[in-house]
């Protein structure tokens, strides 16, 4: 079982739609959580860190549920430029607190 699991999609949505991505992680000792976006053949770019209290950045809202080991990302009012692969990322645990563990990503395609 992969340590970070995501629905690979693709999610095909019209402009203006609201879309939600979910992610689960297997190790309860994980300490940090992020959403990155990756465009084709480019580097992962940090979208936002995720905190237990939830956090919002413009059209993007992230939530963390430690009890369920579940992370979510909500995108409101989708734009064409939101089309990308969204990577759920968990910071290591125990002696490996620096390295990141990536999910396989959820592909989003926003259509006009």
Partner 1 sequence: AAGVIQSPRHLIKEKRETATLKCYPIPRHDTVYWYQQGPGQDPQFLISFYEKMQSDKGSIPDRFSAQQFSDYHSELNMSSLELGDSALYFCASSYPILRGLGETQYFGPGTRLLVL
Task: List residues near partner 1 by CB under 8 A.
Answer: 31-32, 34, 41-46, 49, 87, 91-92, 95-105
How far apart are CB 70 and partner 1 at their closest, in Å? 18
How far apart are CB 1 and partner 1 at their closest, in Å? 15
E strands along the chain, which residues?
A: 4-6, 11-14, 19-25, 33-38, 45-49, 55-57, 60-65, 70-75, 84-91, 100-102, 106-111
The Cα–Cα gap between 8 and 21 comes to 10
Q: Is 60 or 102 the residue whose CB approaches partner 1 more closely?
A: 102
User: Cα 62–63–68 angle (5° rounding)?
Assistant: 145
Q: Is 65 or 96 the residue whose CB approaches partner 1 more closely?
A: 96
Q: Is the peptide bond before 10 cis (omega within 30 degrees of 0)?
A: yes
Q: Is 45 or 59 the residue whose CB approaches partner 1 more closely?
A: 45
How far apart are CB 45 and partner 1 at their closest, in Å? 7
Q: Is 17 or 27 the residue whose CB approaches partner 1 more closely?
A: 27
How far apart are CB 12 and partner 1 at their closest, in Å? 19
């Amino acid at each position: 079982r992969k340590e970070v699991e995501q629905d690979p999609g693709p999610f095909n949505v019209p402009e203006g739609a609201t879309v939600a991505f979910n992610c689960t992680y297997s190790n309860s000792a994980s300490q940090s959580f992020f959403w990155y976006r990756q465009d084709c053949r480019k580097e992962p770019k940090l979208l936002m860190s995720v905190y237990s209290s939830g956090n919002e950045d413009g059209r993007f809202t992230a939530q963390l549920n430690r009890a369920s080991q579940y992370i979510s990302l909500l995108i409101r009012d989708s734009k064409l430029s939101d089309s990308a692969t969204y990577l759920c990322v968990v910071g290591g645990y125990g002696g490996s607190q620096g390295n990141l563990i990536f999910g396989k990503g959820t592909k989003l395609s926003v259509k006009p």
